[in-house]
Amino acid sequence: MSERIGVLIVDDSAVVRQVLSGRLRESPGIEVIGAVPDPIFAMEHMNKAWPDVVVLDLEMPRMDGLTFLKKIMSVRPTPVVICSTLTQRNADISLEALAAGAVAVIAKPETGLKRFIEDDSADIVSAVRAAAAAGQRRTAKPVPAMAGAALPGRTTTAPAAPIRPATTQDRLVAIGTSTGGTQALEKVLPALLPSGTGVVVVQHMPEKFTAAFAARLDTMCRVRVSEAQDGDPVVPGHVLVAPGGRHLEVVRPDNHYRVRVFDGPPVNRHRPSVDVLFRSVAKVAGPAALGVIMTGMGDDGARGLLEMHKAGAYTVAQDEATCVVHGMPREAVALGAVDRESPLLQIAEVINQHG
C-alpha cells in the first residue's frame, strides 16, 4: 500500500458519494481515487487504478454489493468497508459480507444521510484506516484486471503454553474484539464445549447488527449464543453478546453472575466498550475470570484487561500473526496486561481449559 490510502467509494446515493468524499479528503493520508454509483462502474475504475480500500454499499443497481465483494475477493483480496442502511435485512446481508471478507460495517440511516456522514465522519475515517491497516497484512498478488483466483489462506502454528487455572469455581470468560472480530469469533466460539464456563462478549458492531450476529453464531456453535438482555444470567454453555449501541457489564447481586445492559456515553469512542466489560469482570470475578482480547484497531479493552490482570485473572491476547488488525492486543501487551499471546485457533483451547 502507498503512503496515502487510496479509497474507492461505491454507492448509488449521490449524497453519500459527495459528502463522504469530502470528509475523507479532509483526513490526512487519505485520497479518494474514485466515487461511482455501482459495481459495474467500479470494475471499470479498478481495472485502471486499484484502491487500497473500498467503501461499498449493499443495495445498488446492476449488481448488488455482496456479489461485487465476492468478486473482488476472488480476484484480488482487498479491504472493504460495508456502508449499509440500518435494517434487519441488511444486517443479515452485512454479516454475510463480513464472512466473505469485508473488514468492517458502518450502519447508515435510511434518511438524513448527509447529517449522518457529517456527524459520524470520525467513525467512518477510523473504519477506513482500520481497513487499510488490515490490507497491509494481506499478501495478494497484483493482477491486471478483474479476473483471477483467490490466494490460499495463511496458517499459523505455535506451541501451546501452560494455562494458569482459575482459583475458584465461579469461573467466567470475557472476550473483547473489534475489526476482524466477527470472523475471529466465528472460529473461536464453534470450538467451545457445551459444558464450559459462561462467556460474555463485546464485539464493536452497530445497533441491530448484534442480534443478527448472535443468531448466526448460535447456528454454528454447540454452545448457545444470544444477544444479551439486561439481567440475563451468565451460565455454563451460554455466550452472551453485548447489544450494539449499549454498554454491558457483569454484576453479582447474589451468588450468581448477571449482565447489566445500559445506556451511557461512549468509552474510548465505543458503545459497547470492551473496557467497561473488562473492568466490571475485574471487580466481580477477579482470579476466577479469563480475559481475552482479540483483533481490533485502537486501544479499547487494554486498560480493562490490565485491571483484570491485576485482580488475578488469567489474560490472553490474540497474536499479531493471526490478527486482522493488531491494535487492541498490541496495546494490552504494551501495558503488561497479558499473560499469554495465542494464535487465533488456540484461543478456544485456552477457554475450554479454563472451564
Model confidence pLDDT, tens digit, residues 21-64? 999 999 999 999 999 999 999 999 999 999 999 999 999 989 99
Q: Which of 38, 52, 84, 204 is catalytic?
A: 204
Cell digits of residue 182:
466477527
- At 168-212, the pLDDT tens digits run 348 999 999 999 999 999 999 999 999 999 999 999 998 888 999
The verdict on 202 and 113 lying in the same domain is no
Our measurement of the distance from residue 30's CA atom to the centroid of its chain's CA atoms, rounded to an integer in Å, reads 22
CATH number at residue 53: 3.40.50.2300
Q: Exactly one of 238, 300, 342, 354 is catalytic; name it.
A: 300
CATH code of the domain covering residue 188: 3.40.50.180
* pLDDT at residue 80 in the model: 95
123 and 191: one domain?
no
Write down the pLDDT at residue 170.
Answer: 84
Indicate if 354 belongs to the active site.
no
Domain that holds residue 213: 172-354
Catalytic option among 84, 94, 178, 273: 178
In this predicted model, what pLDDT tens digit does every residue of 74-89 receive, in sequence order?
A: 999 999 999 888 666 7
pLDDT for 110: 72
Q: Is 38 a catalytic residue?
A: no
119 is catalytic: no
- How far apart, in whole angstroms, are the C-alpha atoms of residue 44 and residue 279? 49
Number of structural domains, the chain? 2
Which of 106-110, 127-131, 164-168 comes out lowest in average pLDDT?
164-168
- Tell me the torsion sign for CA atoms 187, 193, 196, 200: positive
Q: Say whether both 236 and 339 belong to one domain.
A: yes
pLDDT of residue 160: 41
Question: Which residue type does 98 have?
Answer: L
- Inside any domain, residue 305: yes
DSSP 178-219: -TTHHHHHHHHGGGS-TTS--EEEEE---TTHHHHHHHHHHH
> Model's pTM, two decimal places?
0.85
